[in-house]
Structure 1
């Protein structure tokens, strides 16, 4: 496939919590592990290089923090040296009383046109699940297990969560 424009994905969701709390949910792995990855080497901070693990799949990625604006924005490169990195940006827009609209943009996919489109489609599906899981956790204290339940046949043998 010959692409005229490189694909980028953009998704968003309203979370009924304040921007500072929603920002922290993505910056602090003690919270993020409730709805996305299972383990992290540290929190997101300016200049940090953080490893995120999805132990249920035996997978990991590295997040290289490019910019942090507390309560407003996170910008990272994420991926690994083998597959390459893409850029991910979260913005946190306060709305009303105790509401935040979270937007996630992912760009910089590599490969052939077909491979870029496939990676973009996978990305938007994944980030939609992450946002839904964050919403359920932050608004209702529910851990939905959306990420491990997305690919149940790919779970590491004996993984129990």
Structure 2
């Protein structure tokens, strides 16, 4: 075995030992939007209440008191969805809402708060297209957030974004 192959193995082993996602926090729990709704809770979806005619008041977010799943607090998770950008520049986005369907909060009323995740990714990530679904990984919190376009039931300290693949 050559010196360089030993060096490469040591670097890889060291990288794996300090990888925060893989070992320190464990494998992320894969979630889907229905997992964010407590068992037994029935809620009205935004699309069912949408009225695209008339004034802006017809675009009201439903179920502002929609409960969150407290057991998900401080869990490392991955969740697919679509981006509604809030902060960033032309290369990276640092703050966004993750929503279950394209156009939520922009073209149709926002979904209930327990169907929106406010994500902050400290160093930002590039988002190629807002039309494409992504998967966000990070630590989920049941601490809500409120902004101009929606009230949110969950927040996430994001550590990674990947394209969503079926």
Shorter-chain TM band: under 0.3
- The normalised TM-score by structure 1 is 0.23
User: Which structure is higher in RCO with an 8 Å CA cutoff and minimum separation 6?
Assistant: 1
Which protein has the larger Cα radius of gyration, Structure 1 or Structure 2? 2
